DNA sequence: CCTTCATCGTGATGCCTCCTCACTATGTGT
DNA sequence: ACACATAGTGAGGAGGCATCACGATGAAGG
């Protein structure tokens, strides 16, 4: 029981972290004319190159319909363009613009500074251990899919 | 530079954790007829007892107007009631119902299981270290207010 | 070639979160 | 009393997200 209580306290902290980070990111991204979702889309595009909307939907874990809306917004503000798919005329390729590249580069610089701010001065040993624990937690979360879904096999 | 890169990788993991957790929680809470925001409100109420909407707004870091909407929804589904404030006739006290108590208790049980799932089998030493690091990060985040806001004093 | 079925994107609709501005009803201080 | 601050809400707006239905296109088989 003792153990579970400690685990629960840790989860509480993680949840607080989630809330705090979400709030801060929303504020910060607004300065670039972006929202968390749109930035997430840009981020994905940046790392994978042009994608069909379908692929984006899967990457962001949202419905295809939602992507239509997000891309609409990003096209309107000039962050991405819709290009015809070379071989499949049903699909469109969402592609990065120069504008987006500039903005994402700035975001990345911010992220670096922010990361440095969070971890600067933390003893190497503790940092390594923290990252290891984080990786562990992340792995379990991914492995189990919707791991928060416990109530089914509950009572 | 090397150090910052490691820090950035750690932030990336934290961000992935945020995305994953947010997604899972949304799914899970939907089963109870709740949303993340409404559950957050309930959680706060649960730990602090009846609060004025103003206080709730500050606790959740959203505008007073938003709370009106959240409480409307929670009242409609029977999770809370609006009681007149004993001394200030302008204010209303948002209070827990039996229904909410039951649901929150179930949520707490889920959370315990979930926490156990995330950390079970992790060596004590690593767990302690992880929690310490988490606390550290959280402290810095709180201390600096909107810490993600770096661009002002940037270039 | 022509059906049949799967897939891509989108219109229509509806719910939820959040915000700002304006306004009423109340407190409070001088 | 009078001015000013505070609690909550109506109005209106931007987004994020989902499901259902539908048109356009692709792919597989007869």
pLDDT tens, position by position, B22-74: 888 898 899 999 999 999 999 999 999 999 999 999 999 999 999 999 999 99
Q: What is the ipTM metric for this complex?
A: 0.85
Interface check A126 vs B, CB under 8 A: yes
pLDDT 10s digits, A38-52: 999 999 999 999 999
- Is pLDDT above 70 for B145? no
**Count of C-beta atoms within a 10 Å radius of residue B103:** 20
From CA B131, how far away is CA B113, in angstroms rounded? 18
Per-residue pLDDT at A148 exceeds 60: no
Using the Cβ of B111 and the Cβ atoms of chain A, whether some distance falls under 8 Å is answered with: yes
Instruction: Tell me what the pLDDT averaged over chain A comes to.
Output: 88
Please answer yes or no on whether B11 and A150 come within 8 Å at the CB atom.
Answer: no
Cβ–Cβ of B148/A9 closer than 8 Å?
Answer: no
Mean pLDDT, residues B15-20 taken together: 88
Question: H/E/C letters for each residue in B32-98?
Answer: CCCCHHHHHHHHHHHHHCCEEHHHHHHHHCCCHHHHHHHHHHHHHCCCEEEEECCCCCCCEEEEECH
Q: Is the CB of B76 under 7 A from strand C?
A: no
CB A126 within 8 A of CB B6: no
Distance A38 CA to C25 C1' (A): 42
Q: Provide, rounded to the nearest whole percent, the portion of chain A with pLDDT above 70.
A: 90
For the stretch A52-69, pLDDT in tens is: 999 999 999 999 999 999
Q: Would you state the pLDDT for residue B20?
A: 87
Backbone angles phi, psi at A84, to 5 degrees: -65, 145
**Both structure tokens of A133:** 């624990």
pLDDT at B58: 96
Asked if the Cβ–Cβ distance from B7 to A112 is below 8 Å, we say: yes
C-alpha neighbours within 13 Å on the C-beta side of residue B26: 8
Token readout for A143 is 């492995």
Whether B52 sits with its Cβ under 7 A from any strand C atom: the answer reads: no
DSSP single-letter state for residue A149: -
Residue A42 tokens, joined: 């840009």
| Average model confidence (pLDDT) across chain B | 88
Residues of B with Cβ-Cβ distance to A114 under 8 angstroms: 11, 147-148, 150
Quote the pLDDT of residue B149.
41
Degrees, nearest 5: CA angle B34-B109-A14:
75
Beta strand extents in A24-123 (DSSP E only): 51-52, 80-84, 92-96
Chain A CB contacts of B7 below 8 Å: 112, 115-116, 118-120
What is the percent of chain A where pLDDT is above 90? 53
Give the pLDDT score at B147: 42
Looking at the complex, does the CB of residue A139 fall below 8 Å from at least one CB of chain B?
no
Average pLDDT over residues B108-134: 88
């Amino acid at each position: 029981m003792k153990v579970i209580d400690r685990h629960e306290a840790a989860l509480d902290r993680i949840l607080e972290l989630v809330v705090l980070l979400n709030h801060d990111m929303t504020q910060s991204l607004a300065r670039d004319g972006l929202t968390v979702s749109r930035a997430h889309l840009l981020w994905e595009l940046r790392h994978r190159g042009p994608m069909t909307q379908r692929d984006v939907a899967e990457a962001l874990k949202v419905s295809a319909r939602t992507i239509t809306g997000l891309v609409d917004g990003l096209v309107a503000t000039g962050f991405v363009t819709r290009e015809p798919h070379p071989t499949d005329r049903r699909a469109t390729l969402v592609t990065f613009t120069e504008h987006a590249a500039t903005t994402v580069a700035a975001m990345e610089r911010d992220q670096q500074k922010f990361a440095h701010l969070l971890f600067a001065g933390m003893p190497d040993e503790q940092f390594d251990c923290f990252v290891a624990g984080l990786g562990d937690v992340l792995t379990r979360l991914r492995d189990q899919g919707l791991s928060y879904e416990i109530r089914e096999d509950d009572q």
